[in-house]
C-alpha cells in the first residue's frame, strides 16, 4: 500500500460565538460538528453538513463523549453527498474547556474517527488518506482551524497539535 | 482456545474451494456455468442457515454467514466475468468484476474471519488493470435531505446503527433521499466503479470506450454527434462499492 505524507495547516477561523448568534444556532460548550459551509453561510437555511456527519456524531455519542448539537432536530441542515470514494468527515469543533479539562476525551474522539476511517477503507486498494478539519476554541475566545491531510495513523498526533493551538 | 468451525462452514469452504478452480479464463465455459449453479445453491443454503442463526440470536454466526454469502456471490461474479469476456460482452464483464470486488470487500467488513481475503481482492485489482482499459469514472454530487436506515427504517441520524456494519447477518445501508442533484464530475475514485463513461461521439458515430467499436450514427442523431457528447452511468440503484448507500437511478 502506498504511504502518503501528512500535512497539517493551521489558519484563523471565524468568530464561532458571533457566527452562531448570527445564524441563530446554539454555541457548543463541549464537542460539536460544524456544517461544512459554516464560515460562508449567511442564514441557517444555507447550512450544509458533510454526509459522514450523522455517522461520526452517533459514534461519538455512543462512546459517551460530551457532544452538543448546534441546531434542533427540525433545523438539521441537509447533507452533501459526493459519490466519489473518499472519506469526508465533518468539521470537528473542540471547545477550550473540553481540551483544558478533559484532554483525554479529544484523544478518544480522534481514535473513534481513526477506527471508523480504517473500517471505511477495509478491502479498498490505494493510499488510505484522510482529511480532517478541526476548529479549536482558544482560551482568549479566538478560533483556529487545523487542516490535516494524511494517513489514518497520523490522526492520533493531532491531540498534541490541538493542545498547542489551544494554549497559544 | 478458539471456537470449533461449524460443520456448515467446513462444507462451505469445501464447495468454495472446488468452485474456485474455475476462476480462470482457460476453464471450460460449461464447467464454469455448473460451478456458478453450485454456488447459487450454496447461497440458498447460507440463507437458510442464517435464518437459524437469527432465530437463535447468534449474531456472530449470522455475520460470519453474511461474509460467506459475500464470498460466494463474489466468486459467482468473478467466474461470470470470464464467461462474459468469452462471450464478447466486456461491458457486462466489467460490471461483474466490480461486483466481485465489492463482495469481497464486504466480506471483510462482515466478520473478522475474512481478513485473509485481501489476497483475492489484490488479485481482482490486478485483473482490473491488466484486462480492462483505463476507465473514465463519474461521480454525482447530491444534496440529501434525509437518510433512511435499512435496519430500523428510522432517520439515520436518530438511530443507533452504523452504515457498513453488519447486524444479525445484514449490512446497515442508508437510502439517500435527495432534494437536488448538485453536479456530475469526472473523478479518479468513484464510490461505484460502474459509474463511468460508456460511449462518446467520434467522427461518424458513437464509440464504445470498452471495445473501441464505432457504432454508426443515424441522421436523427447527427446533430447530437456533432456537439461531442458522452454517454455514461453516473448513479445506480444498487449499493455503492462500500455497500453502504443506495440511491436513485440516473442513466444518461
Q: In this complex, is the C-beta atom of B105 within 8 Å of any C-beta atom belonging to chain A?
A: yes
Find the range with the poorest average confidence among A87-91, A123-127, B22-26, B165-169: A123-127
* Residues A75-96, mean pLDDT to the nearest whole number: 84
Query: Which residues of chain A are within 8 Å of residue B164 when distances are taken between CB atoms?
Result: 119-120
pTM: 0.85
* Residues A13-40, mean pLDDT to the nearest whole number: 95
Cβ-contact A79, A47 below 8 angstroms: no
Per-residue pLDDT, B233 = 66
Answer whether B195 sits within 8 Å of A83, measured CB to CB. yes
The string of pLDDT tens digits covering residues A131-148 is 899 999 998 989 999 999
**Better-predicted residue by pLDDT, A161 or A125:** A161
**Better-predicted residue by pLDDT, A4 or B146:** B146
- Return averaged pLDDT per consecutive 10 residues of chain B, 252 residues in all: 79 97 97 98 98 97 97 98 98 97 94 90 94 90 91 95 95 89 80 87 89 80 59 56 41 28
Beta strand spans in chain B (E):
137-149, 166-167, 170-171, 174-187, 197-202, 205-208, 214-216, 230-235, 245-246, 250-251
**Which among B106, B139, B143 is the nearest to A83, CB-wise?**
B139
- B-interface mutation test, from A47, A81, A128, A129, most B Cβ less than 10 A away: A81
Answer whether B241 sits within 8 Å of A85, measured CB to CB. yes
Of B248, B207, B203, nearest to B231 (Cα)?
A: B207
Q: What is the bridge-based pairing of β-strands A79-82 and A91-94?
A: unpaired
Residue B112 sits at φ, ψ, to 5 deg, of -65, -15
Amino acid at each position: 500500500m502506498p504511504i502518503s505524507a501528512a500535512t497539517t495547516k493551521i489558519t484563523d477561523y471565524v468568530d464561532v460565538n458571533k457566527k452562531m448568534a448570527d445564524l441563530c444556532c446554539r454555541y457548543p460548550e463541549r464537542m460539536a460538528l460544524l456544517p461544512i459551509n459554516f464560515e460562508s453561510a449567511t442564514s441557517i437555511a444555507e447550512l450544509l453538513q458533510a454526509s459522514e456527519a450523522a455517522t461520526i456524531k452517533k459514534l461519538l455519542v455512543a462512546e459517551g463523549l460530551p457532544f452538543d448539537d448546534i441546531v434542533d432536530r427540525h433545523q438539521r441542515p441537509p447533507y452533501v453527498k459526493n459519490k466519489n470514494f473518499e472519506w469526508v468527515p465533518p468539521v470537528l469543533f473542540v471547545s477550550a474547556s473540553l481540551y483544558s479539562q478533559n484532554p483525554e476525551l479529544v484523544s478518544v474522539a480522534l481514535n473513534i474517527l481513526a477506527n471508523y476511517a480504517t473500517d471505511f477503507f477495509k478491502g479498498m486498494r490505494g493510499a488510505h488518506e484522510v482529511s480532517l478539519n478541526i476548529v479549536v476554541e482558544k482560551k482568549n475566545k479566538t478560533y483556529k482551524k487545523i487542516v490535516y491531510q494524511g494517513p489514518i495513523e497520523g490522526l492520533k498526533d493531532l491531540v498534541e497539535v490541538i493542545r498547542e493551538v489551544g494554549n497559544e | 482456545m478458539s471456537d470449533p468451525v461449524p460443520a456448515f462452514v467446513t462444507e462451505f469452504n469445501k464447495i468454495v474451494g472446488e468452485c474456485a478452480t474455475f476462476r480462470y479464463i482457460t476453464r471450460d465455459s460449461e464447467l464454469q456455468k455448473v460451478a456458478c449453479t453450485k454456488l447459487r445453491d450454496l447461497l440458498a443454503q447460507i440463507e437458510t442457515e442464517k435464518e437459524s442463526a437469527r432465530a437463535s440470536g447468534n449474531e456472530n454466526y449470522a455475520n460470519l454467514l453474511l461474509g460467506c454469502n459475500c464470498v460466494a456471490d463474489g466468486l459467482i461474479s468473478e467466474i461470470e466475468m470470464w464467461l462474459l469476456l468469452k462471450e464478447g460482452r466486456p461491458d457486462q464483464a466489467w460490471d461483474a468484476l466490480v461486483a466481485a470486488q465489492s463482495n469481497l470487500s464486504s466480506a471483510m467488513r462482515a466478520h473478522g474471519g475474512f481478513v485473509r481475503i485481501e489476497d483475492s481482492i489484490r488479485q481482482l485489482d490486478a485483473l482490473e488493470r491488466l484486462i480492462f482499459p483505463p476507465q473514465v469514472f463519474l461521480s454525482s454530487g447530491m444534496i440529501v435531505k434525509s437518510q433512511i436506515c435499512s435496519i430500523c427504517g428510522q432517520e439515520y441520524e436518530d438511530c443507533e446503527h452504523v452504515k457498513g456494519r453488519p447486524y444479525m447477518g445484514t449490512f446497515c445501508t442508508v437510502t439517500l433521499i435527495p432534494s437536488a442533484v448538485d453536479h456530475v464530475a469526472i473523478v479518479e475514485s468513484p464510490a461505484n466503479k460502474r459509474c463511468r463513461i460508456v460511449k462518446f461521439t467520434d467522427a461518424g458515430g458513437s464509440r464504445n470506450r470498452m471495445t473501441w467499436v464505432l457504432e454508426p450514427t443515424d441522421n436523427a442523431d447527427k446533430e447530437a454527434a456533432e456537439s461531442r457528447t458522452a454517454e455514461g452511468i453516473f448513479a445506480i440503484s444498487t449499493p455503492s462499492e462500500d455497500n453502504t448507500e443506495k440511491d436513485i437511478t440516473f442513466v444518461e
